[in-house]
Chains A and B, each alone.
Chain A
Amino acid sequence: MAIDIYKINPEFRDIMPKEIIDLEENATWAQNQSKPRGIKELPETKEILEEHSLCAGCPEAAALRYVLSALPKPEETIIVNSTGCTSLMFPHIALHTVHSLFGNQNAVASGIKRVLDWRFPDTEKDVVVLAGDGATVDIGLDYTLQSFFRQENITTICFDNEVYANTGGQESGMTPKGQVFKMAPTGKKFEKVKMWELAKTSGCHYSINMTASAPKAVAKAVREAILIAREIGPTYLNIYTPCILEIGLSANEGLGEMKDQDKDRFASYKYISPEAEEFLKKCKAEGKL
């Protein structure tokens, strides 16, 4: 049923633009695939971000592409986002997305997931929250943690750029200590919040801290997190996507910055609960990973 909304009525085929016909014919919907989707889909897929309105070279745009390419069932996935740079990209995606109030994303996602489970008990529907560090850790921390406490079956992805970027550079809870921004001229006074550890202690079954420097690693984490959220409970990904403008880098320096931070603030952190680990083994055996 979900995929039918992309099926063009034959009467209108001759007036539809090529991009919409391509979407119908070439999109990598899971029900058309024999193998799991992944990074290999990136060059061709229509449902993944084709154009975006972010700054040139923004690592967030690349990271979003990796995330979208790794969704196990894009046609059955709802992405809930919040105010921030990411919200500028969602109008360009041919997937179901919901824009929530700033910080409310995990509460909105909880409601959507529960209704979907009630309305479509026989269909696997995935709800993924995708928001920045301001929405996830500062303004929406209450909602984020409460959804973990309640063991909601949703995946939360935080694009951590360590700053309120599109409002001019204010410090966030995720900004590292001492960092100076245009609107934080004296430098941040306290340490970066270790949200990935909070996620673990709050009940997440899968928590990762990483950068978006390695596409395959991001895609693997997204896939694992969504599968675990579907069956077991909440999962959390903290992905570093630096704001190159706010930290004074050029358009071609984002990847280098992420690679540098792979060894520093974003040195790999991965927690998987024992039952999630067991479940992943089962998924691997079934070819879902």
Chain B
Amino acid sequence: MANQGPAYYSPYPAATYEGVITPPEGKALLLSDVVDEEVAMREIAKVMLTKENATIFPGPQVLYGFNEEAKKKATLIKEMAEVLNAKMIPMYDYRPKYPKIDAEVEINPNHPNLTIWHNNIKAAIFIGVHCHYANVALKIVRSETDCYTIAICGLSGHEDAMATLRDQHSSELEKFIKIAKEVKAELGK
């Protein structure tokens, strides 16, 4: 333990210790592979359209209309959910929930696996979740469930997600929706 960092105290395995790091600018991450953004977008759309109970978890940065970008992203995420035939379950804040969460309709970063187990979610997009809580939630989900996690991040992405898109703002979301529509048509969904 002496020469190991605080992450070693975590009961959950961290992707960084397996050599997986966030993708460089302009690229995306699919499992441990750095790929072009468009390739990742196609794969994400395919996963969301084919896996059972695909769900989008919007976080506070898009749930609340605190600036114009958040309002615009909200409209796009709604459209994205329709294109991907996905359900939406909000992560509306990060406070621990007592006595227990209603796993049917909400997700909490402190125990996100409960919502995924309860709803049998096999693919999920995290979007608008602040980085530090996305890191916590994704590690727990990665360790405790067989859910394929996708991080659509406005900053540098999350290595603990199975697919990561970085620097995603409203223009990139529009691009993703366009690609998702094409994949949907190809799959005949």
Interface residues of A (CB under 8 A from B): 1, 4-12, 15-17, 20, 51, 53, 91-92, 94
Contact = CB atoms under 8 A, between A and B. Distances in A.
A1 B66 CA distance: 7
Contacts of A6: 64
Contact of B88 (A7, A15, A20): A15
Given A6-B64, A53-B98, A12 B90 contact: yes
Contact of A16 (B75, B78, B90): B90
Contact of A9 (B71, B95, B105): B71
The 10 A-B pairs at the shortest CB distance, nearest first, are namely A9-B74, A11-B78, A11-B74, A4-B66, A9-B65, A91-B95, A5-B66, A7-B65, A15-B88, A12-B63
Nearest to B63: A12
A5 B98 contact: no
B21 interface: no
A17 B102 contact: yes
Nearest to B105: A17
A73 B127 CA distance: 31
A7 B74 CA distance: 12
Contacts of B65: 4, 7-9
B115 to A, nearest CB: 13
A9 B90 contact: no
Contacts of B89: 15
A17 B67 CA distance: 22
Given A9-B64, A10-B74, 19 more contacts: A4-B64, A4-B66, A6-B64, A9-B62, A9-B65, A9-B70, A12-B62, A12-B74, A12-B88, A15-B88, A15-B89, A15-B105, A16-B92, A17-B102, A20-B93, A53-B98, A91-B96, A92-B95, A94-B93
B114 interface: no
A94 B71 CA distance: 22
Interface residues of B, number: 26
A8 B63 contact: yes
Nearest to A1: B66
B100 to A, nearest CB: 11
Contact of A11 (B77, B93, B95, B106): B77
A7 B95 contact: no
B23 interface: no
Given A4-B65, A8-B63, A15 B90 contact: yes
A6 B64 CA distance: 6
B109 interface: no
B58 interface: yes
A231 to B, nearest CB: 29
11 contacts: A1-B66, A4-B65, A7-B64, A9-B62, A9-B63, A9-B70, A9-B74, A11-B74, A12-B63, A17-B90, A17-B105
Contacts of A15: 88-90, 105
Contacts of A5: 60, 64, 66
Contacts of A20: 92-93
A17 B92 contact: yes
Contacts of A16: 63, 90, 92
Nearest to A3: B66
Contacts of A94: 93
B98 to A, nearest CB: 6
A6 B93 CA distance: 11
A96 to B, nearest CB: 12
Contacts of A91: 95-96
Contacts of B102: 17
